[in-house]
Amino acid sequence: MPAFRGKGYGRLLMNAIIRKAKEKGYHSVLLDTATPMKAAIRLYQSYGFRETRPYHTYAFADILFMKMDLQDAIIPDCNC
């Protein structure tokens, strides 16, 4: 939603998700996003997500699958 972009909410959520996944003993986090969502992809990359092979299929083709190994997780400071 455009009204919420650029306010740091994405970073707050990512920080919480990564911390909780580590607490629970997960080894990696998977996500998928539409390729036109360039700002979201940059956010994910800033946390250490990298492109990975598809783990399921969609009816549309412009989906990017990403994975982050939690041992390599980057949790940047959030000045939100």
Average pLDDT of each block of 10 consecutive residues along the chain (80 residues)? 80 90 94 93 93 86 93 68
pLDDT for res 34 = 93
pLDDT for res 50 = 95
| HEC assignment per residue over the chain | CHHHCCCCHHHHHHHHHHHHHHHCCCCEEEEEEECCCHHHHHHHHHCCCEECCCCCCCCCCCEEEEEEEHHHCCCCCCCC
Residue found by looking up tokens 């360039």 in the block = 38
For residues 69 and 49, what is the distance between their CA atoms, to the nearest angstrom?
8
